Chains A and B, each alone.
Chain A
Amino acid sequence: MNHKGISFNDMARLTDEPLFKLQVENLMHVPYLGEEPPVKPPPDKWLEKYDLSLDWHSPVALPLPKTEEEKLRLVKGFLNGLQKLFDPQNNWTFLKILRLTTDYCMRCQTCSEACHVYMASGQNEYYRPTFRAEILRRLYKKFFTPSGKLLGSLVGADIDLNYKMAIRLMESAYRCNVCRRCAQVCPVGVDNALISREIRKVFSQELGIAPKELYEKGTRQHLKIGSSTGMSVAGFHEAIEFIEDEIGEKTGKSIKIPIDKKGADILLIHNAGEYLSWPENPGAFAVLFDAAGINYTLSSEPVGYDGVNYGLFCDDVELARIGLQHVMIAKKLGVKKIVVGECGHATKTLCVITDRVFPGDLSTSEIPRESCFPLFWEIVKSGVVKLDPSRNNFPTTLHDSCNIVRLMGVVKPQRHVLRAISPQFREMVPNGPYNYCCGGGSGFAIMNELNFPQWRKKVSERMKTKQILEAFKDVLDPSIEKCVIAACSNCKGAMRDLIGHYGLWDKYRITYTGLVELIVNAMVDLPKPYFEMEFISGE
């Protein structure tokens, strides 16, 4: 892409034409991939109805504003929200980090190449991690600081704000996975990924605009029905019965999954997407915990049977509401702690992000919250469950969930487990806290509005595709079946996406699974493999 002539005010162009159109030939080369499907343009009817003026894609599907009043409302709402973002009462949750990030970015671009989206796009300037952040910084300066008002463009307060700028900036905030890899390499500790989240917050908390999978079908549905999947309490009980039957069929064991057991040691909370898309995952938890004699329970209370918290991605108020329900349910059950199943954002939200949202008796010191990985390693290490690693004798690699590894520092337990149960485990590069996001992070994996899945597969999931192929480069022969371990629901969604889109199962026999399935697969007392080497497309 030619960078000359690009300016921040391109984002304010009063045209419905996109600033650029994605083309496969401009994207980062992925070795071993061969030909890939081209980028399909959006149908005309979408272009007439929705604003796709950033890059011809959209997860938000915002209808084109028709009247001047609608346009003005958007601009005014954005400015009101921007002001509240810098107000201690309205944004105590992130103000200090935001202020430092706004005030002290040195514009050295050291962070750029840490960003998988920027790199995968072929270093498209509009996706550079500093591009949207710089616009927000300059807008804030222009409208809310004395130096910006007095000195204008001399201090960079030179951005034109109109409804197109507001819309494109919001869309741009949904081209960042908020994986914070950019912040990790910043010499000043500036967090441009946070700015993406804060831009999203302006639109969600002030204007009520967010991808429907995060809000309408996300947090709202979660709070009103009980789960972001739309699963009711009755649906949850049906899912559990189904899983118990499946366990019986697969293992010959008759396991009753404990629900609402007061005084259990652990409240186990899964991402409810697991019950619907990957029921073998909660099933494997049940088999393993039963074999290890873990005293645990699930909750059947609304919200309590779904560990997701999509408020994390764009809305602090919804974040607090869902998090509070989770912790209150644990308190009511009288459990000793909460353990979160294989879901990265749910784990980070409960263990870290909401730590300072709940006071007194709901503090972490009173109701501890933990990732399931350390518990897995305790079980495997203890030898209480007999495991035979030769049952997993195929090449595996581990995809690290950013939320659990980079943002919680839980790095080794899952590796210890894999080394104990998977003889052909190899690391992808980079890994651990320096990993690349799967491309489904910050809600992307579930955001399927319009043609956003195409953007996700082509751009945000591209780096992970490259990493997987490189990790398996010596065993790409399709006669060798291989498996990516992705112990996170959103990451699994991304794996399903990219394996399907790039044909990695058909070409190379690469599939994916969670971690607990592989542990259970190694259990010596199971009559047949628990994990089936297959690939089921999500499409």
Chain B
Amino acid sequence: MEVFVSYLGWVSVAVFLFMAVYRVIQYSSLPLFLRWELYPVPTEPRHHYGGSYMEEVDYVKKPRHHQRIGGLLDMASEVFLLKKVKEHNRFGMWPFSFSMHWGIYLFFLWILLLLVETLFKLEFLVPLTNVCGVIALFIGAFGSLGLFLKRIGNDKLSLYTTPDDYFNLLFLMAIFGTGIISWSTVDPGFLYTRALINQVIFFESPPVALPFWVWLNLLLFELFLIYMPFSKLFHYVAKYFTFDKIFWDDAFKIKDSPADKQCVKQLGYVVTWSGPHIVPGKTWLDEAQIIEGGDSK
């Protein structure tokens, strides 16, 4: 089984990276949309009160100031603190969601530290790696279990929660849970885990058979890597598009700019909507110039 885990480790990373890139390309290649910004826009210098450059007379003639750092800070507060969930969620989800997210972040960091340790023989990292792993397992398990119970126990939340939402939480619980069992029963110093990581990287068989819980934990994590880009758990990348590319995309269009050229291209798309006011077979540009199109509805 360890050999399978070893091969799957490489496969899972490859699938994860491939699918992540594929998803990014997939969303990036969707058409340029109509401006749909939402204030406050943190990349605006006036974002502290929700203002924009459009507060100025003749804004088109004035230089624009774009604060990249504002966007990064805002995104960081969402990713690391789950600020909006904390401030606006009335179901008490924040402590659990915060724990689960940090459990995932630290789990990834733990795996990364194990890889770095193993690759570069950096033994001084061992205490940090071990603490990181234990914290990740416990807060991750606490968070995912808490969210699972919240969703199942509250009729307003359960109405919206689908079986795949529960599955996602159960999957995470299984990863953190098997990790806790492994750590608390057979692998308190993560020595077996390190041996398994060594095997994944170098395909070197460990000197002794690895305990069931150790390879099960890593196997589940590898499966999770494969599954994640196909699921809603991929929302960490979606956020880049929803915030940075939609809500904060407040630039007005300049003649002959790439956006202008893209608009020209898209205005050439053919409209096939069937409403009575729409003349079939016309492009968007043609449709926009029709005044008398259609009958009464």
Asked whether, in the complex, the Cβ of B88 is within 8 Å of the Cβ of A113, the reply is yes
In the complex, per-residue mask of B29-64: 1 if CB is within 8 Å of any chain A CB, else 0 = 011111111111100101001111111111110000
Within 8 A of A (CB), among B255-297: 255-257, 259-260, 263-264, 266-267, 269-278, 284-285, 287-294, 296-297
- Check A317–B84 contact: CB distance below 8 A: no
The answer to whether B164 touches A155, judged by C-beta atoms less than 8 angstroms apart, is: yes
What residues on A are CB-neighbors of B83 within 8 Å?
Answer: 187
B163 x A363 contact (CB < 8 A): no
Find B159's partner among A6, A210, A411 (CB 8 Å cutoff): A6
Contact A353/B34 with A409-B250, A433-B39 known, Cβ cut-off 8 Å: yes
DSSP majority for the A interface? Answer: helix
Is A317 a contact partner of B277 (Cβ separation < 8 A)? yes
Which of chain A's residues have a CB closer than 8 A to the CB of B32? 92, 356
Partner of B272, one of A89, A194, A358, A375: A89
CA distance A20 to B234 in the complex (A): 37
Q: Does A475 contact B (CB under 8 A)?
A: no
Contact B37 A185 (CB under 8 A): no
B163 contacts A155, C-beta separation under 8 Å: yes
B46: which of A6, A318, A321, A409 is its contact (CB, 8 Å)? Answer: A409
Question: From residue A313, how far is it (CB to closest CB) to chain B in Å?
Answer: 14
Residues of A contacting B241 with CB < 8 Å?
Answer: 96, 100, 189
Report whether B50 and A409 are in contact in the complex, using a CB–CB cutoff of 8 Å: yes
Question: A18-54: which have CB < 8 Å to B?
Answer: none
Asked whether A156 and B88 contact (CB < 8 A) given A103-B238, A368-B59, the answer is no
Interface residues of A in 75-131 (CB under 8 A from B): 77, 80-81, 84, 88-90, 92-97, 99-101, 103-114, 125, 130
Q: Does A153 contact B (CB under 8 A)?
A: yes
One of B38, B49, B254, B290 near A321 (C-beta < 8 A): B290
Q: Which residue of B lies closest to A158 (CB)?
A: B162
Chain B residues with Cβ below 8 Å from A105 are 232
Give the distance in Å from the alpha carbon of A253 to the alpha carbon of B51 in the complex.
37
- Bound-complex Cα distance A409 to B245 (A): 17
Q: In the bound complex, what is the Cα–Cα distance between A204 and B276 (angstroms)?
A: 9
A356 and B35 contacting across the interface, CB-CB below 8 Å: yes
Asked whether A238 is an interface residue with its Cβ less than 8 Å from the other chain, the reply is: no
Question: Which among A92, A368, A373 has the greatest number of chain B C-beta atoms within 10 A?
Answer: A92
Do residues B269 and A368 form an inter-chain contact, with CB atoms below 8 A?
Answer: no
What is the interface residue range for chain B against chain A?
35 or more
Closest Cβ neighbor of A215 among chain B residues? B297
Which among B36, B49, B88, B297 is the interface contact of A185 at CB below 8 angstroms? B88
A168 at the interface (CB under 8 A from B): no
CB distance from B271 to the nearest CB of A (A): 6
A208 touches B31 (CB 8 A): no
Asked whether A95 and B30 contact (CB < 8 A) given A187-B85, A359-B264, A360-B256, the answer is yes
Query: Which chain B residues numbered 240 to 260 have a C-beta less than 8 Å away from chain A?
Result: 241-243, 245-247, 250, 252-257, 259-260
C-alpha gap A185/B247 in the complex (Å)? 12
Q: Which of B1-9, B89-97, B174-182, B188-196 contacts A (4 or more CB under 8 A)?
A: B89-97
- Do A370 and B263 touch across chains, with their CB atoms under 8 A apart? no
Most B CB within 10 A of own CB, among A80, A189, A410: A189
B160 touches A130 (CB 8 A): yes
Residue A183 contacts which of B53, B160, B247 (CB distance < 8 angstroms)? B247
* A residues near B269, Cβ cutoff 8 Å: 88-90, 92
Complex Cα spacing A386 to B200, Å: 80
Binds B, one of A216-224, A464-472, A489-497, A499-507: A216-224
- Which residues between 352 and 388 of chain A lie within 8 Å of chain B, taking CB atoms? 352-361, 363-366, 368, 370-371, 373-375, 378
Please name the residue on chain B nearest to A432 by beta carbon.
Answer: B50
Closest 7 CB pairs of A and B: A409-B52, A189-B242, A433-B50, A156-B162, A92-B31, A320-B288, A208-B297
10 of the cross-chain contacts (CB-CB < 8 Å) are: A84-B273, A89-B270, A94-B34, A97-B33, A99-B30, A156-B162, A209-B297, A355-B35, A374-B57, A410-B52
Residues of B within 8 A of A (CB): 27, 30-41, 44, 46, 49-60, 78, 82-85, 87-91, 93, 97, 155-157, 159-165, 232, 234-235, 238-239, 241-243, 245-247, 250, 252-257, 259-260, 263-264, 266-267, 269-278, 284-285, 287-294, 296-297
